[in-house]
Every structure is written in structure tokens, then in C-alpha cells.
């Protein structure tokens, strides 16, 4: 039969095997299971990452047949002895006929035909699939065939015949399987009426779907036939999994591994099942045992590189209400998916209601502690830490991440205990925790990011505390960690490229280069076993004569590093024992701590009422018509870096008539030129209408504009404007007659030349040197001419790569220090080694209640900066960054978020100023609350900010008490920077009003008859003002794809208010850094005169206090930037009225009504 129709049957055999491999890929355990007849072939990968059939004489075959083989290769059972003998005969044939392929095929065909006639009594199934095997390669010990798709009938015939003959030759050792698959091949069929033997009972149970009974029968067989115990126990584990009891399957496989530690296939099955159930660390432990010793598959190796990702694919968010689905997919897999999405509370709910908590599963308990820490649930975390069995739980990296996160976020004990010496340095202990996590999961990005952040804090502490980590080379360690973070990024990128080559195969040379780079990265990270496994994988894809040399390398490496890890290299030279494990001491302290001391435990019920908000766009009604354009012909997608960033607005009273005016910066051209097609806009308010006077006022500029700010640069009492451009920045000096004088900023700089390629997004005018003269702070984004390069495109027109901020050189931000004579000197923020970054947002204020203003900068995908004035080494003026030590450098887990907008206010009414920072999509906003010690802790999860912002790309954000109830709310402009809707990511997004309910933020209920708040757009800048002076704050919002909006606040049932405008006399005139405390009875409202105002905008220069139902005030206290304090007490003869706007002049005895 084969001699007559070899090509047809060969192709059918190839199709059949291809179908089997596809079923293998669909197995829940992801290629880990190899059962039944499939054990005749080792599945590998060729350079396109497609399955490869690898036939070799050294391949081991299962000795005992298994029940119901998953893969349809015929009802055959395998006999190891006969199979091996037959296959050796084929190997000898190849050697006898020499190297000619045609001779090999003919010899195999003759032998295969005889084998078919002797052994096979059933025809091959009729399967019509357009698949074949081609590209044979011969090497020592076997033959390699690669799966491809071919349209050539001649090629199909040749390679199909060849493969078919090989398959049949391999079946020389096969004989028909018995009717009952689990019965012995030598057992005769039972006579009619005789009882079934135990094996037959198992088979009958399986065929009837009674898997529990089958498992019980197998357990009995194991007891009676210990010689077959391994095979029978493997079957029992497999049936337990099929019966829906994965825990039992895991338990059985674990016992088998303990009894047979050298059994590779068992260990892979065990690891695969663990990974599928979400026990990623337990699975990776098994893979690391095998790494370098066997050729692990790409999914197994990539699982090591991404240790916190769920192994199970979740196309959408898991339905946590479907308990059966959660159990079926694995609780820890579901939790990993939820955690990766930022849904921490839902992940916690799933865990605490699972059997794993009640059963004290150490992996579940470790994850629960980590989630409590990440969700900032201090009370729950402390209960977890003081009740957990650390001996069992501490083997998991999540345990150490839980401790490290809690320590880093200051959740544990009052700082007084640490400073008094009762406890060790919390940051040192945090470093120890993150190092322990890395020892367990070398590729934990979260652990490395957190380690970097903790080392930054520790380094900053050593600069002020000589007792902290004396003489340790922290700076060098931090540099090595930074290098490791880059290596991790490249490792992940290379692994992704290799895996994605399934869809777009690499050439042989490209594939070899990718693998070489990846193995090099892994070797640098001390992950030697993984590096060897990738080399073995490449060798199976590209067979060569180097097997012997590779095996020698494997043996020598594993002889020196039996665990496959060089720990000294892994930990970048840091000694774990240098940082003491203080967990016992801290647990003792936590047990003694009263729960009432916990700052910000679970929010509990809402305390503050909220009313429906009504903010109506009246721009068109009042004559305001402005839209920012990113080019002469607007680009709508596939942007260069500067094109989706938008423009800002400044709210100022430029003509001193008591009514706020609006200035917009425009681009509408090519960056770095001053030939924009459209003008900027200056809308002067007159009789309640807005009139564009940009031309008659001489305030136009045609450079590529982004941000804008205002302030009194020359201290003449008239607000000036600063235009932040891509290209040179521009001063518009107010002439006090309704016009402006335009000057380049470089004209005022006595030391630095013009910067035609500067890329400024935000700016501020404020005294930051302490001389009470305003300086100019310019926040730069990128310093790289490559940013203007056109998008590189493929032949089909699609982009090769879309640019991101990390693709270019960062820029150094600057301070133009005023000399008091109309000029100044530019000084960099930071120094050559520390300072350049991707600055976007800016806030200048007195954040530490000590003399002098600080500069907070939100950076895009880099650590934020908090600049404090400090003398340089030579006594000159300089700035030091304390963002890390103060807690505002990074987000939860040490992540360097894509930070943009900034809002500053006393959000939790504790008289300390807090910072809210908007972030990128899938990165919830940071909500940094200030502690009594001047530190900041991110309370985004505690205040519910995470769930409101994680699916938004936030740009401009402002504090805005829309209903004057005394609690600062948030207005956020959202919109992505690229159109990724084909990937399921929204592009345009809705503007959000987030209501402060005291202990939690919620989305506002909008009174929106026109549906404006339901429209999704590309929001960018936000600025606040009281446009119509009715005591309700209004807002201006700019967009990339729509006209700017003036949102008039028409909310009803609002509370009382107080507005203050401060004028400095000894301080700079705008009094930036002045603090105001307003008191009524036990209630206190704190405000700060600030500038920068976040992203690319400037708010109206007033302090607005919502007072709720308070109808009279007891006192107003102003602490001026000079340190002087003025206080006004209410009396019967001089009450402090509410619902007024007052002007307070430094040194003047009484405030007066601001007309």
C-alpha cells in the first residue's frame, strides 16, 4: 500500500502529526504534557518558532502504555524494546546508504514498507490538511524536519513520502493497542461472565466518565503493583486534573517528584500544572532546576523572564463573581491578572474568600500580604504580618515584596520609634527585602525598581545622617542597579522579539543574533542556567556540529554553579547580609502598636456629602474660539513625540480691570521654526464677553508653542507672560498700557547662548533662590535633534516604530536666576550626573514649611524630581534632588510612571499640602499625602484614585472645590498620545471631575443636559479661575482634537467661600510660597500661593477656600516667604465676612476688599 500511495499517505501522516501538535499547543498546561504515542517525537522549534519534529535514536519512550492518549496517532501502544530496535535499524540504514538523500529515502521506504506489512493492520486516517514537513537537516544522532506550509505538489510528494516512511519506520516497535488502553498488552481478554481485573476496571471507569472511581482503582493498583507505581501514579494525577481537582493532581505530582527527582518529564508536568494554577514561583523553581540540563520550551523560558504575569491567557478582565470560573482557571492566576490591571481590591477579595487562606496555603498568604501592602491597607497588612507563619511564607518572593513595599511606603511604625533607635533603619531593611525577592525571582521588575528607589532613599539619608550605612559605596551600587534595569528591559524585549517571530519568522542569521544577545544578557545577570537553556533551544532550531562543545559548556557551568545562578553577579555585588533582616524586631513593635495610631487605614463609609455638578462650556457663547494645532495640516495619529502634547492656557488679569483674561499658546507649524500658520490668542474679558486682542496687544508669537505661564518678572505690578516653546522661549513683558514687548528669553540671559532646539513644556516665575526676586524655571522635555526625524515607515506605509520619551536623550531643566536688573544667569537643576530628564509638569511652592520654595517636576517614564536649594561644593548656588527621600520620585512598587499633570492642595484636611500627579494609561495617578515629618506617601488606593484613573491617560489636573463644601475636588483632562484602538486601548477620553468625599474620591454626578461630559476627546491643559467672580471656581480645558472649553461653574446648592489675593512687598510681588491658614472654630483650611500649576498652564493668582456652611471666620493667618507672620482675628467690631474676595498686602495692617 505504501509503495503505491507513499506520497498521499505521507502527506496524511504529516497532516495528522501537525494536527496533534496543534492540539498539544491547546493543552491547558502549555506543551508540558507529553502522553501516549506522542512520545515517539520530541517537539522543538525552528527559527520561525514553529513546531519541529526531532527524530533521534537517543529519545526515551514511555515503558508502560497510558490511558486514552490525548493525541490521535492511532490506537497504538508503545513497546520500548521493539521501538528502539526498529529505530536503530533505520539509523543503520542511513549510515549504510551514505549521504545521498535519494538513497536514504529509498532505503527508508523499503524498510518502512516491510514494517507496515508486519505491524500495521489499519489504514491511515483520511485527513486533508494543507500541511507538510520540509527542510530536513541531518546531524549526529537523528534527523530534523521542520513544519511548513507548501503549495508545491512535487515537494509535498517528496517530503511527505519521506516523513511518512520515517513515521512508519518508527512504528516498527508498535503493535495494536488492546481494547482497554490501561490493560496490560500481554493480558488476554476476559472471558464472558468473568469479573474485570483492576486495570480493566480503571479503563471502564474512564470510558464511563467516572474519574473519581478510576483514581481510587489506580490507587489500589499502586499498592498491589509497586513496580508499575510511577506510571500508575502519573495516570492518577492526570485523571485528577481532568476530574477538576487540580490540587490533588499537584499533590500527587509533588509526591512523585520527591520519589523520582531525576524524572525530567514528571518535573515538567508538575511545573506546567503549577504555572497554570498561578503558582508561578513554585513552577519557576522547577524550571530553574531543569534550566541548562534540558532544552526548555520558549513558553517555559519566557515564564522565567516574566515571573509575575499569569500563565493563563485572559482576553478580558476575569469575572470574579463566577466562582467556578475562578476555581477552574486558578485563584492565583486570576489574582495575577487582576493585580496586573491594577484591580487590587478585587484581587484581595478573591484571595480572602478562597480556600487557600483557610487552608493556610503559603503561596496564597504571601500574595495576600503583598496585595495589602500595595493597596496601602495598613491595618490588614499589620494583622497579616503579625499572624503569618514566616517560616513557611518567607520562601516566596511575594512575602519579601510585601515587607519591602510596606517599609518603603512608611506603613509600619511611627518615625519616632525608628529615630529613637528602638528599631533599625527601615530603608536598609527594605533593601534587604527587595534583595531577598530578587534572589528568588531574578527577573522581578517590581523588585528591581523598588530596590533602585530604596537605594536612592538610603543614599539621600547618608548625606544627612552619618550613621546610616557608613562608608558603603551606595552610589556605585545604585549605578549598577540602573544598569541592571536596562539589562532587564533588553532581556524582555529580546524574549518578546523571539516569541513574536512566530508570525514573522527571522532569518537564520537574525535568529542566531537575537539568541546570542539574549544569552549574553542573561549571563550578565548571573542567570547561567537560563542562558544555557536558550542556547540549547537555538541548537535544536539550527542543528550544527557544536553539540559536543555545547554539552561540555553545560557540564562545566553547572558543575561550578549547580543552581544555575551566579548570586554575586545576580545581586550586582550587593551583600544581602550587609542589610540586616529586622522582621522579628518589627513584628514585636507592630504587636505593641495601637490600631488607632494607623494613619489612613481602610476608608470606611463616606463622610462628606456631594451635590450634582454643573460645569457648562460657554466658550462659543462668550466669543472664545481657539484650538491648538500640532501642524499646519494637523497630524491625527502616528505622531512624532511633540505632536500630541497640546498647548496650555494662562489665566491672568493683564489689564488690571479686575476681570480675568485668557492667553493661549499655539503651534500650527513645524517645530523649531517661527512660521506657524495660526496666531496665539489673548482673550480680554469685557462686559462678560471675550475678545481676542492678541494682535493689537502685540502678544502674538509664531513659534511652536506648548506651555504658558504668567508672573511679574520685573516687579512693576503688571503680570508678564512666558511662552514655553519647542525652540526658543519668549517673554511678553507687560507695558501697562494694554500691550506687550516681545523678547527672547536668551536676551535676558547674560551667560548662556540661545537654545533654538529647546523643548520646554512647562514654566514658572517665582523666587527659588531666597533673594525675593522672581526667577524663571523652565522644564525641558528632550534634548535630542533626532526627535524631529520623520516617522520611519515600512513598505506598506505602517510605522516601523512609534517614538517614546526613552528613545531620546533627556534634557536638563534650568533656572534663570534674576540679577534684579532685568537680566539673569542660567543654572541647571541638578548636575551633569543627575538632573537631565523628561520633564512635563511643574509646581513651585514651599512644600516643607521652611524658608524657601521647592521645585517639584513630574517626569515622563523617569523618576520625578523635588529640587531643594543647597549650596554647591564651591559655595555657589545649586539644587539637590530629594524626591526619593521624600517619597515622590516613583509610584507604587518603585515604578517610574509616565507622570504629567500636578495638582497641589490639602486634600485630606490635615493642614499639610499634598500632591496629585496624573499618569499614563494603565498607571493610576499618584496621590502623595504629606506626613508630619515632611515625607510623602502615595495613598492613591486608599482614596480610590486607582480605580478612577487607571484606564485614563491623564494630562492637566487641578484642585477645584466645585461645590465650596471645603474639600478639594479634582478636574482631570484625559486623552492618549497615540491611536491604539486596534489594540483595545481608547484614544479620545472623557474629562473627569472627581469628587472628594473626605475619605475617598468618586466620579461626580454631572448635570449635563447637552451631553458634553460624555464626549471623549484628547484633553491636555487645565487651568482654574473665577471667570465671572461669583464665588464658584470655573475652569479652562485645552484639547488636541477640539476647541478649548471655558467651563462655567453653575452648580447649585454650593457652600460659602473666601478668596484671597496676596501682594508681597518684602517678598516678591506675587508672594509665591506664602501660606494661608483660615480658621473657624475647630475647622482649619490651609492654602499655599504656588505657581507652575502642573502641566503647561497657569491658574488665576488667587487662593480660593470653600467653607461649606461656615458663615463666619475666626482668623486668617499668613506666613510670608520672608518668614514673617501676619494674623487677623475676628471681633464683634471687625468680623471676617465670608463670600468675599480680599486683597492682603504684606505689612499692611488690614486686608481690604479686592475690587
Please indicate, yes or no, whether residues 1002 and 861 belong to a single structural domain of this protein: yes
- 123: pLDDT confidence band, cut at 50, 70 and 90? very low
Number of domains in the chain: 4
Residue at 438 is within a domain: no
Q: Do 1145 and 1088 belong together in one domain?
A: yes
The count of other CB atoms within 10 Å of the CB of residue 1022 is: 32
Residue that the C-alpha cell 517645530 belongs to: 671
Q: Indicate whether 41 pLDDT > 50.
A: no
* Same domain membership, residue 1049 and residue 1136: no
Mean pLDDT along residues 324-335: 87
Q: Are residues 1057 and 1080 in the same domain?
A: no
Rounded to an integer, the average pLDDT of 653-680 is 94
Please tell me the least confidently modeled range out of 460-464, 524-528, 612-616, 1030-1034.
Answer: 460-464
- Of the candidates 363, 366, 374, 364, the one whose C-alpha atom is nearest the C-alpha of residue 340 is 374
**Start-to-end Cα distance in the chain:** 105
Distance CA 311, CA 409 (A): 29
- The rounded distance, in Å, linking the Cα atoms of 783 and 804 is 13
Decide: helix, strand or coil at residue 986.
Answer: coil
pLDDT for residue 202? 78
**Measured between alpha carbons, how far is 64 from 284 in angstroms, rounded to an integer?**
29
Q: Do 271 and 295 share a domain, yes or no? A: yes
DSSP 8-state symbol, 1138 = S
Name the pTM for this structure: 0.71
* Inter-residue contact 853 to 1073 (CB < 8 Å): yes
Residue 126 has pLDDT above 80, yes or no: no
Neighbouring residues of 69: CB distance < 8 A, sequence distance ≥ 6: 35, 36, 37, 38, 181
Q: Are residues 1109 and 999 in the same domain?
A: no
Question: Which neighbouring-strand residues pair with 52?
Answer: 44, 146
In a domain, 443, yes or no: no
855 by DSSP, 3-state: which? strand
Give the β-pairing of 1056-1063 and 1140-1145: parallel
* Contacting residues for 444 by C-beta, under 8 A, at least 6 apart: 307, 308, 397, 401, 437, 438
Q: Which of 177, 204, 230 is the last residue of a domain?
A: 177
Least confident range of 104-118, 191-205, 991-1005: 104-118
Quote the percentage of the chain above a pLDDT of 90.
Answer: 50
| pLDDT at residue 297, rounded to an integer | 87
Phi, psi of 740 (to 5 degrees): -130, 150
- The pLDDT value recorded for residue 239 is 86
Strands 775-780 and 814-818: antiparallel
pLDDT(218) > 60: yes
Identify whether 199 is part of a domain.
no
Q: So what's the pLDDT on residue 228?
A: 78
Query: Using an 8 Å Cβ cutoff, are 884 and 452 in contact?
Result: no
Q: How confident is the model at residue 894 (pLDDT cuts 50, 70, 90)?
A: low
Lowest mean pLDDT among 23-27, 571-575, 770-774: 23-27
- Quick check: 1038 pLDDT over 80? yes
Confidence of residue 855 (pLDDT cuts 50, 70, 90): very high
Residue 368 domain flag: no
Cβ count near 4 (within 10 Å):
8
Pair 36, 494: CB distance under 8 Å: no
pLDDT by residue (tens digit) across 934-993? 888 888 988 999 999 999 999 999 999 999 999 999 999 999 999 999 988 999 999 999
Sign, CA dihedral 1095-1100-1101-1107, equals negative
Q: 232 in a domain, yes or no?
A: no
Q: Are 72 and 85 in contact (CB under 8 A)?
A: no
Q: What is the CATH number of the domain that holds 867?
A: 2.130.10.10
Lowest mean pLDDT among 35-44, 576-585, 786-795: 35-44
Domain check: are 962 and 1058 in the same one? yes
Residue 678 has pLDDT above 50, yes or no: yes
C-alpha cell recorded at residue 440: 528568588
Task: Tell me, yes or no, whether 152 and 173 share the same domain.
Answer: yes
Question: Buried b vs exposed e over 623-657: b needs ≥16 C-beta within 10 Å?
Answer: ebebbbbbbeeeeeebbbbbbbbbbbbbbbbbbee
| Top-ranked range on mean pLDDT: pick from 1-5, 266-270, 432-436 | 432-436
Among residues 155, 177, 199, which one ends one of the domains? 177
Question: Residue 194 half-sphere exposure, CB side, CA atoms within 13 Å?
Answer: 9
Domain that holds residue 14: 6-177
* Interval 117-135 mean pLDDT: 32
- The predicted model gives 163-186 an average pLDDT of 40
Task: Provide the β-strand partners of residue 825.
Answer: 817
- The Cα–Cα gap between 922 and 903 comes to 20
Give yes or no for residue 66 having a pLDDT over 60: no
At residue 852, the pLDDT reads 92
Neighbours of 785 (CB within 10 A): 11
Same domain? For 1017 and 881 the reply is yes
Q: What is the mean pLDDT of residues 210-238?
A: 83
1057 and 1079 both lie in a single domain: no
Is the per-residue pLDDT at 58 higher than 80? no
Band of pLDDT at residue 208, cut at 50, 70 and 90: confident
With contact defined as beta carbons under 8 Å apart, do 888 and 859 qualify?
A: no
Find, among 828, 834, 830, 845, the residue nearest to 456 by Cα.
834
Cβ(586)–Cβ(429) below 8 Å? yes
Q: Which residue among 536, 564, 592 closes a domain?
A: 564
Dihedral sign from CA coordinates of 456, 457, 460, 462:
negative
In a domain, 776, yes or no: yes
- Residue 169: pLDDT over 90: no
Looking at per-residue confidence, does 61 or 669 come out higher? 669
Instruction: Check residues 57 and 1027 and name the one with the higher pLDDT.
Output: 1027
Write the CA distances from 778 to 102, 817, 1028, integer angstroms.
75, 11, 31
Whether the predicted pLDDT of 214 surpasses 70 = yes
Structure-block grid coordinates of residue 1118: 499668613
- Burial of 156 per CB tally in 10 Å (0-12, 13-18, 19+): buried
pLDDT band at 101 (very low <50, low <70, confident <90, very high): very low
Q: Does the pLDDT at position 688 exceed 60?
A: yes
| pLDDT surpassing 70 at residue 181 | no
Taken in order 1041, 1043, 1049, 1052, is the CA torsion positive or negative? negative
Question: Which among 501, 468, 477 has a CA at the least distance from the CA of 50?
Answer: 501
Specify the range with the lowest mean pLDDT, choosing from 371-380, 761-770, 802-811: 371-380
Q: Which residues of 897-907 are buried (b: 16+ CB within 10 A; e: fewer)?
A: bbbbbbbbbbb
pLDDT of residue 129: 27
- Residue 492: pLDDT above 60? yes
Distance CA 60, CA 458 (A): 55
Q: Where does the pLDDT of residue 407 fall: very low under 50, low under 70, confident under 90, or very high at 90 and above?
A: confident
pLDDT for the residue 713: 96
Set of cell numbers at residue 203 = 479503563
**What mean pLDDT is reported for the chain?**
80
Confidence of residue 510 (pLDDT cuts 50, 70, 90): confident
Confidence of residue 401 (pLDDT cuts 50, 70, 90): very high
Kindly report the CA angle at 116 between 115 and 122, in degrees rounded to 5?
Answer: 150
Residues 1028 and 1098 in one domain: no
Distance CA 657, CA 660 (A): 8
Residue 153 has pLDDT above 80, yes or no: no
User: Over the Cα atoms of the chain, what is R_g?
Assistant: 35
- pLDDT of res. 872: 61
Does the pLDDT at position 599 exceed 50? no
Q: 1023 vs 514, 612, 964, 1086, CA distance in Å?
A: 49, 21, 18, 20
Q: Name the nearest CA neighbour of 171 among 112, 250, 231, 246.
A: 112
**Would you mind telling me the total number of residues written for the chain in this entry?**
1155
Residue 390 lies in a domain: no
User: pLDDT: is 891 or 889 the higher one?
Assistant: 889
Tell me what pLDDT residue 195 has.
55
Query: What string of DSSP letters covers 415-449?
Result: HHHHHTTSS--HHHHHHHHHHHHHHH-TT-HHHHH
Among positive and negative, which fits the CA dihedral 1106, 1110, 1111, 1117? negative
The DSSP element (H or E) to which 760 belongs, if any, is: strand 760-766
pLDDT at 655 over 50: yes
CA distances from 95 to 56, 89, 90, 107, 172 (A): 14, 10, 9, 11, 19
* DSSP code, position 1062: E
951 and 1097 within one domain: no
Pairwise pLDDT comparison (408 vs 927), residue with the higher score: 927
The grid cell for 895 is 515604578
Contact in structure between 968 and 960 (CB atoms under 8 Å): yes
Return left, alpha or beta for 942; rule: phi > 0 is left, psi -120 to 50 is alpha, else beta.
Answer: alpha
CB 861 within 8 A of CB 897: yes
Let me know how many helices (H) and strands (E) the chain has, helices first. Answer: 31, 45
Query: C-alpha distances in angstroms, 472 versus 428, 445, 468?
Result: 12, 24, 9
Residue 283 lies in a domain: yes
- Taking only the tens place, the pLDDT of each residue in 1051-1071 is 998 899 999 999 999 999 999
Residue 68, pLDDT above cutoff 90: no
Residue 196's pLDDT is what? Answer: 59
- pLDDT of the residue at 511: 86
Q: How far is CA 171 from CA 11, 69, 86, 312, 1002, in A?
A: 17, 16, 8, 35, 68
Over residues 827-839, the pLDDT tens digits come to 999 865 577 999 9
Report the percentage of the chain scoring pLDDT > 70.
Answer: 77
Mean pLDDT confidence for 98-102: 40
pLDDT at 895: 73
1100 confidence band (pLDDT: 50, 70, 90): very high
CA atoms of 746 and 760, how far apart (whole Å):
14
Amino acid at each position: 500500500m505504501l509503495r503505491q500511495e507513499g506520497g498521499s499517505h505521507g502527506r496524511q501522516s504529516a497532516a495528522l502529526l501537525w494536527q496533534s501538535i496543534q492540539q498539544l499547543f491547546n493543552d491547558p498546561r502549555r506543551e508540558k504534557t507529553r502522553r501516549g504515542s506522542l512520545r515517539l517525537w520530541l517537539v522543538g522549534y525552528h527559527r520561525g518558532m514553529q513546531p519541529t519534529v526531532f527524530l533521534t535514536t537517543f529519545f526515551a519512550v514511555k515503558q508502560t502504555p497510558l490511558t486514552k492518549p490525548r493525541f490521535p496517532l492511532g490506537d497504538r501502544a508503545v513497546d520500548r524494546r521493539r521501538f528502539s530496535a526498529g529505530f536503530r535499524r533505520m539509523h543503520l540504514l542511513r549510515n549504510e546508504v551514505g549521504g545521498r538523500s535519494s538513497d536514504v529515502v529509498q532505503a527508508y521506504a523499503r524498510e518502512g514498507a516491510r514494517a507496515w506489512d508486519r505491524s500495521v493492520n489499519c489504514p491511515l486516517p483520511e485527513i486533508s490538511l494543507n500541511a507538510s514537513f520540509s527542510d530536513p537537516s541531518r546531524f549526529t544522532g537523528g534527523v530534523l524536519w521542520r513544519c511548513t506550509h507548501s503549495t508545491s505538489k512535487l515537494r509535498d510528494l517528496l517530503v511527505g513520502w519521506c516523513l511518512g516512511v520515517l513515521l512508519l519506520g518508527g512504528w516498527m516497535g508498535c503493535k495494536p493497542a488492546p481494547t482497554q488502553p490501561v490493560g496490560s498488552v500481554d493480558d488476554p481478554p476476559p472471558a464472558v461472565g468473568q469479573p474485570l481485573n483492576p486495570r480493566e476496571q480503571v479503563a471502564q471507569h474512564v470510558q464511563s466518565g467516572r474519574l473519581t472511581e478510576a483514581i481510587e482503582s489506580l490507587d489500589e493498583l499502586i499498592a498491589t503493583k509497586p513496580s508499575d507505581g510511577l506510571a500508575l501514579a502519573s495516570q492518577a494525577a492526570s485523571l485528577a486534573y481532568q476530574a477538576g481537582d487540580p490540587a490533588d493532581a499537584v499533590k500527587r505530582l509533588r509526591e512523585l517528584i520527591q520519589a523520582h527527582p531525576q524524572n525530567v518529564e514528571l518535573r515538567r508536568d508538575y511545573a506546567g500544572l503549577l504555572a497554570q494554577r498561578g503558582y508561578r514561583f513554585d513552577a519557576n523553581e522547577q524550571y530553574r532546576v531543569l534550566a541548562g540540563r534540558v532544552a526548555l520550551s520558549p513558553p517555559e523560558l519566557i515564564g522565567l523572564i516574566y515571573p509575575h504575569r499569569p500563565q493563563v491567557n485572559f482576553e478580558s478582565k476575569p469575572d470574579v463573581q463566577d466562582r467556578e470560573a475562578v476555581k477552574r482557571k486558578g485563584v492565583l492566576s486570576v489574582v495575577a491578572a487582576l493585580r496586573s490591571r491594577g484591580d487590587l481590591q478585587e484581587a484581595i477579595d478573591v484571595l480572602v474568600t478562597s480556600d487557600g487562606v483557610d487552608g493556610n496555603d503559603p503561596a496564597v498568604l504571601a500574595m495576600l500580604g503583598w496585595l495589602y501592602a500595595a493597596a496601602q491597607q495598613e491595618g490588614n497588612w499589620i494583622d497579616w504580618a503579625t499572624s503569618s507563619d514566616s517560616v513557611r511564607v518567607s520562601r516566596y518572593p511575594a512575602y519579601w515584596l510585601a515587607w519591602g513595599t510596606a517599609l518603603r511606603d512608611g506603613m509600619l511604625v511611627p518615625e519616632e520609634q525608628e529615630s529613637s533607635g528602638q528599631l533599625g533603619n527601615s530603608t536598609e531593611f527594605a533593601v534587604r527585602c527587595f534583595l531577598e525577592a530578587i534572589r528568588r525571582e531574578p527577573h522581578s521588575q517590581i523588585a528591581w525598581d523598588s530596590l533602585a528607589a530604596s537605594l536612592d532613599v538610603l543614599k539621600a539619608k547618608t548625606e544627612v545622617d552619618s550613621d546610616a550605612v557608613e562608608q558603603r559605596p551606595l552610589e556605585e551600587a545604585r549605578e549598577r542597579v540602573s544598569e541592571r534595569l536596562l539589562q532587564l528591559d533588553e532581556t524582555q524585549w529580546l524574549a518578546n522579539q523571539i516569541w513574536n517571530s512566530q508570525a514573522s519568522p527571522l532569518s537564520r542569521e537574525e535568529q542566531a543574533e537575537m539568541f546570542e544577545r539574549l544569552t549574553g544578557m542573561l549571563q550578565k545577570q548571573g542567570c547561567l542556567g537560563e542562558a544555557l537553556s536558550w542556547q540549547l533551544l537555538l541548537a535544536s532550531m539550527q542543528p550544527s556540529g557544536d553539540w559536543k562543545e555545547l554539552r561540555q559548556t553545560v557540564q562545566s557551568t553547572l558543575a561550578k554553579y549547580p543552581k544555575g545562578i551566579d548570586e554575586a553577579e545576580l545581586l550586582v555585588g550587593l551583600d544581602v547580609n550587609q542589610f540586616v533582616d529586622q522582621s522579628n524586631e518589627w513584628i514585636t513593635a507592630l504587636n505593641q502598636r495601637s490600631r488607632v495610631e494607623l494613619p489612613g487605614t481602610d476608608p470606611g463609609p463616606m463622610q462628606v456629602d456631594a451635590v450634582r455638578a454643573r460645569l457648562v462650556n460657554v466658550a462659543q457663547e462668550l466669543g472664545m474660539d481657539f484650538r491648538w494645532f500640532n501642524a499646519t495640516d494637523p497630524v491625527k495619529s502616528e505622531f512624532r513625540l511633540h505632536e500630541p502634547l497640546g498647548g496650555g492656557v494662562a489665566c491672568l488679569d493683564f489689564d488690571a480691570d479686575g476681570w480675568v483674561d485668557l492667553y493661549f499658546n499655539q503651534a500650527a507649524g513645524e517645530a523649531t521654526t517661527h512660521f506657524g500658520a495660526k496666531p496665539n490668542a489673548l482673550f480680554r474679558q469685557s462686559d462678560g464677553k471675550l475678545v481676542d486682542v492678541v494682535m493689537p496687544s502685540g502678544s502674538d508669537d509664531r513659534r511652536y508653542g506648548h506651555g504658558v505661564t504668567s508672573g511679574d518678572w520685573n516687579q512693576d505690578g503688571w503680570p508678564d507672560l512666558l511662552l514655553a516653546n519647542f525652540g526658543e522661549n519668549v517673554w511678553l513683558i507687560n507695558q501697562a498700557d494694554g500691550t506687550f514687548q516681545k523678547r527672547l528669553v536668551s536676551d535676558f540671559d547674560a551667560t548662556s547662548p540661545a537654545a533654538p532646539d529647546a523643548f520646554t513644556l512647562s514654566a514658572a516665575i517665582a523666587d527659588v533662590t531666597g533673594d525675593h526676586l522672581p526667577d524663571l524655571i523652565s522644564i525641558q522635555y528632550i534634548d535630542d535633534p533626532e526627535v524631529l526625524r520623520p516617522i520611519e515607515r515600512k513598505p506598506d506605509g505602517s510605522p516601523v516604530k512609534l517614538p517614546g520619551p526613552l528613545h531620546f536623550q533627556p534634557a536638563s531643566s534650568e533656572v534663570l536666576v534674576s540679577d534684579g536688573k532685568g537680566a539673569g544667569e542660567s543654572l541647571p537643576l541638578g548636575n551633569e550626573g543627575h538632573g537631565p530628564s523628561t520633564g512635563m509638569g511643574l509646581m513651585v511652592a514651599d512644600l516643607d514649611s521652611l524658608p524657601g520654595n521647592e521645585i517639584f517636576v513630574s517626569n515622563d517614564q523617569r523618576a520625578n524630581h523635588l529640587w531643594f536649594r543647597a549650596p554647591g561644593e564651591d559655595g555657589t548656588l545649586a539644587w539637590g534632588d530629594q524626591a526619593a527621600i521624600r517619597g515622590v520620585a516613583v509610584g507604587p512598587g518603585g515604578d517610574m510612571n509616565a507622570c504629567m499633570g500636578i495638582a497641589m492642595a490639602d486634600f485630606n484636611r490635615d493642614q499639610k499640602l499634598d500632591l496629585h500627579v496624573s499618569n499614563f494609561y494603565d498607571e493610576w495617578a499618584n496621590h502623595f499625602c504629606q506626613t508630619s515629618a515632611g515625607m510623602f506617601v502615595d495613598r492613591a488606593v486608599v482614596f480610590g484614585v486607582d480605580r478612577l484613573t487607571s484606564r485614563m491617560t491623564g494630562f492637566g489636573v487641578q484642585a477645584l472645590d466645585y461645590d465650596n463644601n471645603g474639600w478639594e475636588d479634582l478636574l482631570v483632562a484625559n486623552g492618549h498620545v497615540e491611536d491604539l484602538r486596534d489594540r483595545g486601548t481608547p484614544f479620545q477620553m472623557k474629562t473627569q471631575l472627581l469628587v472628594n468625599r473626605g475619605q475617598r474620591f468618586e466620579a461626580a454626578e454631572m448635570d449635563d443636559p447637552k451631553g458634553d461630559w460624555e464626549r471623549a476627546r484628547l484633553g491636555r491643559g487645565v487651568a482654574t479661575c473665577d471667570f465671572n467672580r461669583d464665588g464658584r471656581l470655573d475652569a479652562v480645558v485645552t484639547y488636541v482634537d477640539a476647541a478649548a472649553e471655558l467651563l462655567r461653574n453653575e452648580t447649585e446648592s454650593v457652600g460659602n467661600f473666601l478668596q484671597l489675593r496676596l501682594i508681597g512687598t518684602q517678598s516678591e510681588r506675587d508672594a509665591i510660597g506664602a501660606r494661608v491658614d483660615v480658621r473657624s472654630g475647630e475647622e482649619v483650611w490651609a492654602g499655599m500661593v504656588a505657581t507652575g500649576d502642573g502641566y503647561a498652564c497657569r491658574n488665576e493668582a488667587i487662593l480660593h477656600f470653600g467653607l461649606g456652611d461656615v458663615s463666619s471666620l475666626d482668623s486668617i493667618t499668613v506666613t510670608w516667604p520672608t518668614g514673617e507672620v501676619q494674623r487677623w482675628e475676628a471681633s464683634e467690631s471687625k468680623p471676617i465676612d465670608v463670600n468675599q474676595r480680599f486683597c492682603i498686602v504684606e505689612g499692611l495692617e488690614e486686608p481690604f476688599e479686592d475690587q
